[in-house]
Amino acid sequence: MGRSISSAQSRRPEGANRFLRKITLVATLGGLLFGIDTGVISGALLYLRQDLGLSPLQEALVVTALLFPGAVAGAALGGPLADRIGRRKTLLTSAAVLALATVGCAVAPGIGSLIAARVLLGAGIGCASVTCPLYLAEMAPAERRGRMVTINELMIMVGLLVAFSTNLILSSVIDDPQVWRYMLGLAAVPAVALFIGMFLLPDSPRWYARAGRLDEARETLVRGRNADDVDEEFAAIRATARAEAHRKNGREALRLLRKSSAARRILWIGIALAVAQQASGGNAVTYYAPSVLASAGWGSSASLMASVGIGVTVILATLVGLWLLGFVPRRRMLMTGFGAMVVSHACLGASFMMPASGFKAYAMVVFMLCVEASMAMFIGTSSWLVLSEIFPMAIRGFAMGVAVAGLWLANSAISFLFPLLVSRVGATAIFFVFAAVNIVSLGFVARFVPETKDRPLEQLEADLNDGPTFTDCAAEAGQHVKTGAESRV
């Protein structure tokens, strides 16, 4: 474990590097879909209002139907599903749901059917948002895990830019209030690509080992590792998997959580970090930037153009974040991000108090860009990565599902309330509230979030445990299940 990162990478065969690149390219299509499907609605709303005559309440429902109940349910089911049928099959299922739901959104005859299709779309996104980082973290070597998982975040940002740019192009070339149908139908292409691509990839070695398919676990490791590293990693994976091979569903994960105070603590940390990411206010700006700018006097085309600028900014900021993750600890990244969000939201709120002028309009855009850059560079890159790393194998899928369900629940609450509160109390007060929330989140990260950089998942699991080992508790939970079954017989 003491070998340097550069040494490990230089010794890895080119075939293994190609295999890891293929995994990253295909699996992160889930992130691309995440970005497109969550970002496209910001521009489509401008035309949905005109075509369907949406009220503020209906507008909020259209946006949040994807998030709640859609993504919340998808995330809650996605973790246990990934444990039961595997990461690969769960991504295949998500891709199929996303393709069907995207078509449903594009052809929806009215507001009711559109909301129903958005709920189904959200379920696919929620399921993929759990499984993509989980799959990447389990497939990656320790020294490459940060970059592989965070490329999924980059693809989310690319998806946002694709959505914003396509919205702008379509609005320019199609003079029809129903242009929103073309906007919402965009994501069918990457959904089909994800479905096809996952057929070419294996499941993760850790899931194979837990399912008792040790030959396939080792074979997958061999494809993505240097030969000298396979035996050590395979032994650690096999030892951890054997202790919880009994587990077939989420009930044993709940028993483990009752047995282990360390597992409960890590789960609560994961949930809180996921909620803090959403409560930072970055996504509220992403979803409603065109609407907020339009309400401040910007035309539809200018508002969409500004959203493209936001998309470019978040991609550049994510690339910088990827570079920083190579040498900056995860906790420091998170703390820097939440601190920057405090300042950015406070300045954005103050900009709404300025007298109407060209300077005010551009100040609003600059501070929106600061919010989005802080989110993308520090919080977005690090939070998804930490969530994919901190949970022990015995509850990894289950815990990731619970944490991401919390993330989507927070996202949906904020997205639903944001336009209603802005219409009631104004944008200034809302952005100052976001600044205060980020102060709390900064303190939480400083006090509770562990450092995970460059640590193998099995070593990290052992280091985070402060009571009976996770594997011992998992084995005891499994013995409880076995004994109960025998007594019934």
What is the per-residue DSSP string for 169-199?
HHHHH--STTHHHHHHGGGHHHHHHHHHHHT
pTM: 0.78
Q: How far apart are CA 278 and CA 297, in angstroms?
A: 28
For residue 252, give the nearest of 33, 80, 32, 474 by alpha carbon.
474
- Residue identified by tokens 């199609």 is 174
- Residue identified by tokens 């998170």 is 334
Q: What angle do CA 282, 283, 287 make, to 5 degrees?
A: 130
Q: Give how far Cα 200 sits from Cα of 89, 203, 243, 322, 444, Å.
A: 12, 10, 30, 27, 41
What is the phi-psi region of residue 373: left when phi exceeds 0, alpha when psi lies from -120 to 50, beta otherwise? Answer: alpha
CATH 1.20.1250.20 fits 15-201+246-488, yes or no: yes
Q: Residue 455: what pLDDT?
A: 80
Residues 123, 97 contacting (CB under 8 angstroms): yes
Segment 104-153, tens digit of pLDDT: 999 999 999 999 999 999 999 999 999 999 999 999 998 888 888 889 98
Q: Which residues of the chain have pLDDT under 50?
A: 1-7, 10, 248, 467-471, 473-489
CA 64 to chain CA mean position, Å: 16
Segment 225-280, tens digit of pLDDT: 888 889 999 998 888 777 665 554 556 677 778 888 888 999 999 999 999 999 99
Q: Residue 90: what pLDDT?
A: 97
Q: How far apart are CA 207 and CA 467, in angstroms?
A: 25
Token pair belonging to 74: 């998808």
Cβ-defined contacts of 302-307 (< 8 Å, 24+)? 303/46, 304/43, 304/46, 304/164, 304/167, 304/168, 304/171, 305/168, 306/365, 306/368, 307/42, 307/43, 307/164, 307/167, 307/168
Q: Give how far Cα 228 sits from Cα of 3, 168, 202, 221, 222, Å.
A: 12, 51, 21, 11, 10
Side chain identity, residue 437: V
Rg from Cα positions in the chain: 22
Q: Give how far Cα 305 sits from Cα of 52, 169, 171, 231, 299, Å.
A: 23, 10, 11, 53, 10
Q: How far apart are CA 181 and CA 161, in angstroms?
A: 18
